[in-house]
Amino acid sequence: MAENGKSSTEKVPAAAHPLTENPTEIATDINYHVKLNTHFSPFKFEPEQAFFATAESVRNSMGGHFLYFVRDNPKHTYYFSMEFLQGRALTNAIGNLGIENAYAEALNKLGHELEEIVEQVINSSKKPVLVLNCIILMTGNGGLGRIASCFLDSMATLNLPAGGYGLRYKYGLFKQRNTKQGQEEIAEDWLEFSPWEVVRYDLVYPVRFFIYAVLYPGDATESGKLLRLKQQFFLCSASLQDIISRFKDQRGGYTWSEFPSKIAVQLNDTHPTLAIPELMCLPMEDEGLGWDEAWDVTTRTIAYTNHTVLPEALEKWSQPVMWKLLPCHMEIIEEIDIMFLAMVKDTRPDLEYKLPSMCILDHNPPKPVVRMANLCVVSAHTVNGVAQLHSYTLKAELFVVTSLYGPPSSKIRLTALLGGFGFAIQSSFADDANFQDEWASAKMASKRRLASNISCVTGESIDPNSLYDIQVKRIHEYKRQLLNILGAIDRWYLFQNYNVSVAEMLIPGSELSQHISTAGMEASGTSNMKFALNGCLIIGTLDGANVEIREEIGEEIFFLFGARADEVPRLRKYQENRLFEPDPRFEEAKQYIRSGAFGSYDYKPLLDSLEDVIYRYFRDRKRWLKMSILSTVGCGKFISDQTIAQYAKEIWNIQECRVP
Ligand code: B1N
């Protein structure tokens, strides 16, 4: 065991800016930042300046929390993710600190409205979308990045000594503008204004490459792929060097064997997998740690979350590219693979026939690749899926290898949450006429807010009494947006640039939402939880987290759609043998689209029986409201605070660290 008995100088936290809840003191503090700010004239106090000054005031209040963690040196968790889909940072920060009312009052004293001020924030990582009759098609990614940001919020809410590492992309995904010619893509320079960034000039770590301008460089070309790999390595290397340097700075020196009792690293999918060989490499190269110790440290530190089982979405990197770029890391990966193969042969000869799909290095020509998910499964101490059904699939089909390490721990659901009504309710309220009225007016207010935004963006006005039926998802065949479009072609609007702020409007303002992916394909889905929690009823298949939502809220308030996962293979066979006869209305809808006559067509024949049921329910207002209330009541289990509390206990072994 390597001993590195360096004792660091004792750190006494400097007095932090006090976290005051007194509106007068806050107003004075905001004023101070207005005068101090170097970005704007001190004589102006427009919403933009007010936003900056407020953000800086809040940011200073947060410093105390960091210092507290340094002083107490508890075990920390670090969440590694190649993407974080943030919403409004200011709203999040004051929400998590519980100082929303105090800041609202302080701004009032200064002649501003908090609601107006937070709107000044430029929404980061805007996801381009097209809403076709309220079907939002995202060309970027959704749940995975949003979960990462929700988790950071929940870590803060729960006072956990935890944080995230990600890349500071210069450009997010492009902004979308729709013209008659089609989609126009505009560079998204989202870093224009960010009062939240703190540059640490004193922390510099050597990483061999530094090129990372764009989130999702096109991977159609070899150079695009290489850039993505470099980005991934950059994230892993710089983050681990920072973590190790903080670990070494702790009082009383350190031994490497205690690293896993001080640090937990969670990999958000396989994108940061290079953290595994890098955590082996850094202490072996820099401090002469032996292989066995390095392997022990790495495997006790790293946990992995899988977000998909679709074979085409599982990351594979070309072996020649990896050898060229990261030869030392490839040596380590090769060694891990050899170790793993030997272990299976020794301990589970009955599983040897599975080795070709279980091993990390796939040597098959013409494209020998490294399978990143397999490397994670072999090396992580815990692997989890993102919904019950998904975890079963993981266990059963994909990674038999987990069973080698005792019972697989894929049991945790990950959820993300936006908006919400913000009050505690019980199922007994669902029949209460007064409560139903309040519920209806809250929903109506959200619908009006959404309608007014749609009208600003598109010029179209929408009757708030109509049924708002919404599908928001990354574009993929299995999510079956096309199916939904076929059922919605005569009601189309254009709604651009879907992002977290739009979601906060859209989700509370909707009453019915589509989650109709082919059963067995969607790992979890996250917007399904958000819609259900916001009292929006769901049409869904028995896929991903839909299964659990239906269990929690009750099957009678869930509009079930389509085949079950176990029926899908039979139906596919049918289709292959041309025995499957689609509903004639599909043909009608396709002909209709080809005719190009969207506006004038009588749509009635295309409505299927499920829609008939839905409209019948919708017209019975009391019944609909009751179902909507019960949907929210049943969604407690999908709140990310609860998920993170479970991670903290079951995977990370970290404790709350409360700031007095
Ligand atoms: O992660 C979500 C799940 O709710 C969805 O079911 C799942 O499809 C989604 C490569 C991904 N899986 N894989 C990705 C994202 C970015 C990328 O570059 C893959 N996203 C999901 C949250 O668990």
DSSP 224-264: HHHHHHHHHHHHHHHHHHHHHHHHHTSTT-EEGGGHHHHEE
Q: Is the CB of 522 under 6 A from ligand 1?
A: yes
Over residues 133-160, mean pLDDT: 74
- Bridge pairing between strands 3-4 and 254-255: antiparallel
Q: How confident is the model at residue 313 (pLDDT cuts 50, 70, 90)?
A: confident
Residue 11: predicted pLDDT: 38
Q: Can you identify the CATH homologous superfamily of domain 427-638?
A: Glycogen Phosphorylase B; (3.40.50.2000)
Q: What pLDDT, on the 0 to 100 scale, is given for residue 599?
A: 47
AA letter at 75? K
Mutate to test the pocket of ligand 1, among 125, 267, 269, 307 (most ligand atoms within 8 A of CB): 307
Please state the atom number of ligand 1 nearest to the C-alpha of residue 522.
6
Name the least confident of 366-370, 410-414, 528-532.
410-414
Place of tokens 């955590």: 279
Contact, 646 vs 151, CB < 8 A? no
ipTM rounded to 2 decimals: 0.95
**What is the token pair recorded at 51?**
């936003």
Asked whether 415 and 386 are in contact (CB, 8 A), the reply is: no
**Distance in Å, CA 511 to ligand 1 centroid:** 25
Q: Answer whether residue 373 shows pLDDT above 90.
A: yes
* Separation of CA 144 and ligand 1 centre (Å): 5
For residue 317, give the amino acid letter. W
Residue 15 vs residue 618, higher pLDDT: 618
Does residue 74 have a cis peptide bond before it, meaning omega lies within 30 degrees of 0?
no
Q: Is the pLDDT score of 497 beyond 70?
A: no
Residues 655 and 75: beta-carbon distance below 8 Å = yes
For 534-567, the pLDDT digits (tens) are: 999 999 999 999 999 999 999 999 999 888 888 8
Cα–Cα distance for residue pair 545/413, rounded to 1 Å: 8
Q: CA–CA separation, 113 vs 429, rounded Å? A: 33
Phi, psi (degrees; rounded to nearest 5) at 512: -145, 140
Residue-level pLDDT at 260: 97
* pLDDT of 293: 97
Q: So what's the pLDDT on residue 192? A: 53
Q: What is the mean pLDDT of the segment spanning 241-257?
A: 90
CATH no., domain 73-88+123-415+643-652: 3.40.50.2000
Report d(CA 228, CA 239) in Å as an integer: 17
Nearest residue to 512 via CA among 355, 643, 624: 624
pLDDT at 235 over 60: yes
Number of H helices and E strands in the chain, helices first, is: 25, 18
Query: How far is ligand 1, taken at its centre, from the CA of residue 148, in Å?
Result: 11
| Per-residue pLDDT, 172 | 64
Closest protein CA for atom 10 of ligand 1:
313
176 CA from centroid of ligand 1 (Å) = 21
The half-sphere exposure of 595 on its side-chain side, counting CA atoms within 13 A, is 13
Going from the Cα of 322 to the center of ligand 1, the distance in angstroms, rounded, reads: 24
Confidence class of residue 18 from pLDDT cuts 50, 70 and 90? Answer: low
Token representation of residue 355: 């080795």
Gap between the Cα atoms of 91 and 119, Å rounded? 9
pTM, whole model, 2 decimals?
0.79
pLDDT of residue 7: 34
User: Token pair for residue 641?
Assistant: 């605070």
276 CA to centre of own chain: 22
The CA distance from 455 to 450, in Å, is 9
Query: Is the pLDDT confidence value at 347 over 80?
Result: yes
**Residue 344's pLDDT band (cuts 50, 70, 90):** confident
pLDDT in the model for residue 567 = 86
Mean pLDDT of 481-499: 61
pLDDT digit string, tens, across residues 49-76:
898 899 989 888 776 566 666 677 899 9
Mean confidence (pLDDT) of the chain: 79
* 521 CA → ligand 1 middle, Å: 11
What distance in angstroms lies between residue 143's CA and the mean position of ligand 1's atoms?
Answer: 6
Q: Which two tokens stand for residue 593?
A: 């689209």
pLDDT attached to residue 112: 93
Strands 129-132 and 135-138: antiparallel
What does the pLDDT read at residue 272? 98
Name the pLDDT band for 281 (thresholds 50, 70, 90): very high
Instruction: Return d(Cα 65, Cα 54) in angstroms, integer.
Output: 18
Residue with tokens 């009588």: 602
Q: What are the distances in angstroms from CA 48 to CA 29, 52, 121, 197, 533?
A: 17, 6, 9, 17, 33
- Region 343-354: what's the mean pLDDT? 85
| Arithmetic mean of pLDDT, 86-111 | 87
| Residue bearing the CA closest to ligand 1, atom 19 | 313
Q: Where in the chain is the domain with CATH 3.40.50.2000?
A: 73-88+123-415+643-652, 427-638
Q: Which of 271, 304, 308, 413 to mutate to test the pocket of ligand 1 (most atoms within 8 A of CB)?
A: 308
Look at ligand 1, atom 20, and give the residue with the nearest C-alpha.
144
pLDDT in the model for residue 635: 87
Q: What is the average per-residue pLDDT within 516-541?
A: 91
Beta strand spans in 283-386 (E):
302-305, 316-318, 361-362, 369-371, 382-384
Pocket test for ligand 1, best of 141, 228, 305, 647 (most atoms within 8 A of CB): 141
A 10 A CB-CB count for 118 gives 22
* pLDDT at 405 (0 to 100): 45
Q: Is 656 exposed, middle or buried (0-12, 13-18, 19+ CB in 10 A)?
A: exposed
pLDDT value at residue 178: 60
Cα dist from 173 to 96, 140, 324, 453, 477, whole Å? 27, 7, 29, 22, 21
CA of 186 to the centre of ligand 1 (A): 24
Element (DSSP H or E) covering residue 164: strand 162-165
Give, in order, the Cα–Cα distances in Å from 582 to each of 24, 483, 543, 571, 611.
67, 12, 21, 11, 17
